[in-house]
A and B are shown apart, each in its own frame.
Chain A
Amino acid sequence: MSRSPLDGRGRLRVQGFDGDTESVETDDTTAPTAPTAATDRRAWARFRRDRAAVAGLVVIVLMTLLAVFARPIEVGGVVVQPIALAPYDPAASGVAPTYRPPSLSHPFGTDWAGRDVFSRVLYGGRYSLSIGVVAVSLALVVGVPLGAVAGYVGGWVDEAIMRFVDVLYAFPFLVLAIALVAVFGQGFWKLVGALVVVGWIGYARLIRGEVLSVVERDYVVAARAVGASDRRILTRHVVPNAVAPVVVQATLNVGTVVLSAAALGFLGLGLQPGTAEWGSMLSAGRDTLVGGEWWVTVFPGLAIFLFVLAINLVGDGVRDALDPDAGPDRYRTREAR
């Protein structure tokens, strides 16, 4: 946002005369302290009061449970999860005639291969959920250390890492992901890999900026004065205090990543074609609509929409809970990526 040299001026406000309740007393002397159990509890209390965020969390938990219990899970031949909420195998074709409209036995109808769309939508949550969570976590694992080191060490290390980040930033998120999928090929881990390569740069940039402001704080100077090692200062004092905006951004990004993965699936570039992934299920697209088979398109899309909406609600709630002073749009600027 615009920052003028005049920003610091006139911050003294007489409270009570202002109709504007959102005007906050700015007090630059209170440096945030290291997160403690008490601040975590307060954040959780704020989160719980946010009804939209709690609703989002409920939706995510429900969709996760539905995905987990959609079909039995076997690990190495041992059934660890025997429940099957989905009435049919999502991959089984010909469980009913093709393109049956929604009915009692097939609530979401059947698709061109006679597969049960309801079972596929339930099961498809597994792909979207795991891709979103795994890709964002791995991007954090790459981006946070690199960004933190760049900001803390400075000099040529900083230059090298951040110029590389600048170059990657030149590529639009989806276009680069598409190009990478083209090179790597299709499949779950290749798709996740592509999303990590395009995703880590945002966290690196964000945490570097935070680190630059945190290293100036008194407790870091104090830690250095008593002879703490750089590694200890960075991992114990700097990163924990710099990580909150990254957590918010990461939560919101799960939505963006799920959307991108679904878009790749829609384009036929994500997982193997025919996978019960929500985006891939829409790839027949317009042809089914013109034929009148709207249910093939409407239900999987609705699942993506609900899931991404729920994540964004939770992300907004986490942001407000961790940083109540920030306006509603503080971390939104880069979300477009």
Chain B
Amino acid sequence: MSLRRYVLRRTLLTLPILVGVSVLTFGLVKLLPGTPVDYVLQFQEATPELRASLRAQYHLDEPVWKQYLLWLSDVLRLDFGERIVSDRSVSAAIAERLPETLVLGGISFLIALFVGVPTGVVAAVRRGSLLDEGSRVVALLGIATPNFWLGLLLILLFGVHLNLVPVIPPVAPVLAPESLAFLVLPAVTLGTASAALFTRLTRSAVTEQLRQEYVRAARARGLDERTVILKHVLRNSLISVVTVAAVQVAFLLDGAVVVERVFSWPGLGRLLVRAILQRDFPVVQAVVLLVATAVVVANLLADVLYAWLDPRISY
């Protein structure tokens, strides 16, 4: 099968998953006691006319399958309706918070990648060395540390005791220098566990590659060790790191929900938690759907990249 046909097939296979995701997200709110109208009306006087018009707005008088299709057609046009706690549209609230989460997640991902992969390579090449053992212990600690606790400890040390960074996010655009300076601690907090996972996975991928024949062949040809590692081994090991990078998207999104709360960073995660506490379910629905779609797309990209990088695999 050609790469192009594989990509096409793989893309088509994600469609049923996305449909399933949308059904579940829609069904989640249906499981709630009461209807969205009850939640809207808890803040205002309910006249029968208002109730009727709201029921019509949420299509509550239609059969469930039709409600789903109507909701889906709105969602496909990125219309998630209005928030329950205010008159603003859900899409506007999300658009406002999305860049914050993307920047936080992006920086954390880069930290994880640029700390984790080189450490993993060195650990595999110098197996049994002090550095290998040390990275193993640090990775173990990194995976076991609750991210919210790590964040709080960093605030305690750098924000309160050393007074190096502000403890409250600055009022500035996301990419302004003061915002980026503030983001150092949240990004380190969020990236630590990912860096630990990258280290362990890179180490095992490189270890596996070092056992392959081509490595021995390259050494036999008299290539110096540096070339063998950087040109041959690393390139082959990174193929498996790519798939893990996709899993990291889900992992980082999970972490962002918590870390944003720790640092009061106004991103999607904080929007989600606040929406749940305020029972603002259109927002919950929209954020959950968006996050799940992002994960599905990330997995698709990883599979495609994997196939493209490694022509040997048969699909």
Contacts and interface: CB of A to CB of B under 8 A. Distances in A.
A329 B288 contact: no
Interface string B166-206: 01000000000000000000000000001001001101110
A154 B183 CA distance: 49
Interface in A1-43: 1-6, 9-10, 20, 22-23
Query: Which of B144, B145, B239, B312 has most A Cβ within 10 Å?
Result: B144
Contact of A172 (B31, B140, B251, B284): B251
Given A4-B312, A282-B148, A285-B148, A179 B288 contact: yes
A175 B272 contact: yes
Interface string B128-145: 000000000000110111
B24 interface: yes
B215 to A, nearest CB: 11
Interface string B93-131: 000000000000000000000000000000000010000
Nearest to B202: A329
A329 B292 CA distance: 27
A333 B153 CA distance: 28
Contacts of A334: 247
A209 interface: no
B90 interface: no
Interface in A254-299: 255, 259, 262-263, 266-269, 279, 282, 285-286, 289-290, 292, 294, 297-298
Query: Which of B159, B254, B273, B313 has most A Cβ within 10 Å?
Result: B254
Contact of B276 (A10, A269, A308): A269
A180 B28 CA distance: 8
Given A182-B284, A327-B204, A297 B156 contact: yes
A267 B250 CA distance: 18
A302 B149 CA distance: 8
Contacts of B20: 163-164, 166-167, 170
A259 B291 CA distance: 21
A167 B17 CA distance: 5
B208 interface: yes
B302 interface: no
Given A2-B239, A269-B276, A336 B152 contact: no
Interface in B226-281: 236, 239-240, 244, 247-248, 250-251, 253-254, 257-258, 261-264, 272-273, 276-277, 279, 281
A267 B259 CA distance: 10
Contacts of B263: 286
Contacts of B153: 297-298, 301
A269 B203 contact: no
A9 B251 CA distance: 36
A167 B21 contact: yes
Contact of A171 (B146, B239, B288): B288
B152 A301 contact: yes
Nearest to B20: A167
A171 B201 contact: no
A179 B28 contact: yes
A328 interface: yes
Given A267-B257, A297-B149, A304-B149, A4 B313 contact: yes
A336 B273 CA distance: 21
B257 A178 contact: yes
Interface in A150-189: 163-164, 166-168, 170-176, 178-183
B146 A292 contact: no
A23 B143 CA distance: 28
Given A174-B257, A308-B144, A309-B141, A301 B149 contact: yes
B218 interface: no
Given A305-B146, A333-B247, A337-B247, A170 B296 contact: yes
Given A1-B205, A336-B250, A282 B288 contact: no
A3 B146 contact: no
A170 B249 CA distance: 11
Interface string A304-337: 1100110011000000000000011110111111
A283 to B, nearest CB: 9
B32 interface: yes
26 contacts: A4-B313, A22-B127, A23-B211, A170-B21, A170-B292, A175-B292, A179-B28, A180-B28, A182-B284, A255-B144, A266-B148, A282-B148, A285-B262, A289-B155, A290-B159, A292-B160, A297-B149, A301-B146, A305-B149, A308-B144, A328-B200, A333-B201, A335-B197, A336-B194, A336-B248, A337-B251
Interface of B: 16-18, 20-21, 24, 28-29, 31-32, 127, 140-141, 143-149, 152-153, 155-156, 159-160, 167, 194, 197, 200-201, 203-205, 207-208, 210-211, 213, 236, 239-240, 244, 247-248, 250-251, 253-254, 257-258, 261-264, 272-273, 276-277, 279, 281, 284, 287-288, 291-293, 295-296, 310, 312-314
Given A285-B262, A286-B155, 9 more contacts: A171-B295, A175-B254, A183-B29, A262-B146, A263-B148, A267-B261, A269-B277, A279-B146, A327-B207
